[in-house]
Chains A and B, each alone.
Chain A
Amino acid sequence: MAPVFILLGIVALLVLWFVAIYNSLVHLRNYVDNAWAQIDVQLKRRHDLIPNLLETVKGYMAHERGTLEAITKARADAMSAKGPAQAGTAESALSGALRGLMVNVERYPDLKASQNFLALQEELSSTENKISFARQAYNDSVTRYNTRIQTIPANLVAGPAGFTPRELFELTDEAERAVPKVSFA
């Protein structure tokens, strides 16, 4: 009789162990999902701010049609992007286009002084900050989750239970990456 009970005891312990790991993985995955939702909110907010911004600057910057159209196009691309990797590329392009606009604004002192524009600028730069801070939190949570499901012993549970690694959200900006060229002319 005794060996049967010992066997049953071991099985029960194994089941408990499986449940504990499974639950902790669900916890970590929900954390990742929530962190992504936070980024998503801020990305949408930026998309919402852009028509307002374009409306404000249009009157002053009639000659900069190219810059404004680039932003409209980048916004449309970003809004149709799916998943962290695709969104990362599209949102980087949008950031680049917006930065181009802000550089051009320097040439329009009237616009720079406008109260409406100043308020929009604070909102836009704060939204950029929020995106990067939310990204920081999201990537930290993804790293923690991915490390957990790839290491012993949780990987023994993660595989069969269908926990798959998540993508990091990278904003790769060509302008930031490029090595500055110095020319001595």
Chain B
Amino acid sequence: MSALMWEAVAANKRRSAWLIFILALLLAGMGGALGLLFGGAPETAAYGVFIGLVVWGVMLLINMMGGESVLLASASAREVSHEDAPQLYNIVEEMRLAAALPAMPRVFIIETPVPNAFAVGLKPERACVAVTRGLLERLNRDELQGVIAHELGHVSNRDTLFMTLAGVTLGAIVLLADFGIRTLLWGGGRRRSSGNRNGGAAMAVVMVVAIALAILAPILARLLYFACSRQREYLADASAAQFTRYPAGLANALRKIAMQQDPKKIPVNRVVAPMYAVNPLAAAGSASLFGTHPPTEERIRRLMEMQGAAPEVPPTA
């Protein structure tokens, strides 16, 4: 076991915690800016922050209610048992032991020739793994093990929970910004009618900063969200390497999967897309700032680096 894999996991976790923290600050700043714009006084900024938090809480509740079953249904996944797909089921069980998950995840198959896989479940106890028929047909046992390890890596790193949190925070910021900008364009809220405008020049500067924040915060938050998502992919890759102790398995699988993506043949929408092992909606190798997945070549390069650092042990399969 190389120290490199452990370090990659630890460093990624630190970075993700920072990203969430900054997103939360942005949300608070956004609320404060709106409070200032519409109230016109420093006290109202605090109300703005409070309203921002309430919006966030409501959106989080709505998001949690949907749960796994809705996502799985929208991808038309069918649950399978050990008898239906012995090898797949065995591999999932092997990886759940390596990941030391508290319970056996439910296993699903999606009938489509495009090779891909995803995991859902806010808690590790309720995890579900779905793979497509194309994945089962194209990958050998080691490669399939790598992909399953990557998905269970998402589960054991609590990525589903993490990305729900990040997504809801982003949603709240965008919603508040939309509301703020629209109201300002419509007539400037209560700004002009409020009587307690203390100190002209200083307040004007604060107002300009608040408006700038209202415009920039959603853009910044989006960039951060996608950066989060890409970090979590690298983290899941590192976890997969740690579970299988054979990073080349996943690297080979990624190579095969990336060549075969066709969004027309896979039941996918923008909600489910980021959860797949390789994003079916993104062109292979594109490294945009607004992408949920890092470029596949870079993922493979990092995996092979870990492989080089790992002792040359053939996989147990």
Q: Interface on A for B, CB 8 Å cutoff?
A: 35, 38, 42, 119, 122-123, 125-126, 128-130, 132-134, 136-137, 140-141
Of B42-50, B94-102, B165-173, the one contacting chain A is B94-102
3 closest pairs, A vs B, by CB? A126-B90, A133-B98, A137-B100
Give B102's nearest chain A residue, CB to CB.
A34
A172 and B86 CA atoms in complex are apart in Å by: 29
Chain B residues near A133 (CB-CB < 8 A): 94-95, 97-98, 243
Q: Is the CB of B97 within 8 A of A38?
A: yes
Query: Is B87 close to A, CB under 8 A?
Result: yes
**Do B86 and A129 touch across chains, with their CB atoms under 8 A apart?**
no
Q: Is the interface of A mostly helix, strand, loop or mixed?
A: helix
CB distance from B75 to the nearest CB of A (A): 26
Contact A122 B87 (CB under 8 A): yes
B95 x A122 contact (CB < 8 A): no
Q: Is the CB of B97 within 8 A of A137?
A: yes
Partner of B90, one of A123, A132, A136, A140: A123
A106 to B98, CA, bound (A): 31
Q: Tell me if B316 is interfacial: C-beta within 8 Å of chain A.
A: yes
Are A130 and B317 in contact (CB-based, < 8 A)? no
Which residue in A38, A119, A129 is a CB contact (below 8 Å) of B316? A129
A141 and B100: CB pair below 8 A?
yes
* Whole-angstrom distance between the Cβ of A95 and the nearest chain B Cβ: 11
Across-interface contacts of A123 in B (CB, < 8 A): 86, 90
Bound Cα distance A137, B102 (Å)? 12
Contact between A122 and B97, CB atoms less than 8 A apart? no
B contact face: mostly helix, strand, loop, or mixed: helix
How many residues belonging to B are interface residues under a CB distance threshold of 8 Å?
15
> Do A132 and B87 have beta carbons less than 8 Å apart?
no
Q: A13 CA to B209 CA in the complex, in Å? A: 48
Q: How far is the CB of A131 from chain B (nearest CB, A)?
A: 9
User: In the complex, which residues of chain A have a beta carbon less than 8 angstroms from the beta carbon of B317?
Assistant: 125, 129
Minimum CB distance partner of B82 in chain A: A123
**Binary A-proximity of B161-186 (CB < 8 A = 1, otherwise 0):** 00000000000000000000000000
Contact mask for chain B residues 97-123; partner A; CB cutoff 8 A; 1 contact, 0 none? 111100000000000000000000000
A125 to B97, CA, bound (A): 15
Query: Of A126, A128, A137, A141, which is within 8 A of B98 by CB?
Result: A137
**For B91, what are the chain A residues with a Cβ–Cβ distance below 8 Å?**
126
The distance in angstroms between the C-alpha atoms of A136 and B93, with both chains bound, is: 14
Min CB–CB distance B224 → chain A (angstroms):
33
- A sample of 18 more A-B contacts (CB under 8 A), given A130-B93, A130-B94, is A38-B97, A42-B97, A119-B86, A122-B90, A123-B86, A123-B90, A125-B317, A126-B87, A126-B91, A126-B93, A130-B90, A130-B97, A133-B94, A133-B95, A133-B243, A136-B245, A137-B99, A141-B100
Q: How far is the CA of A171 from the CA of B317 in the complex (A)?
A: 17
A128, B90: Cβ atoms closer than 8 Å: no
Per the bound structure, the CA–CA distance linking A137 and B93 in Å amounts to 13
Q: Which residues of B contact A119 (CB under 8 A)?
A: 86
Enumerate 15 A-B pairs (CB-CB under 8 Å) in ascending A order.
A35-B100, A119-B86, A125-B317, A126-B90, A126-B91, A129-B317, A130-B90, A130-B97, A133-B94, A133-B95, A133-B98, A134-B97, A134-B98, A136-B245, A137-B98
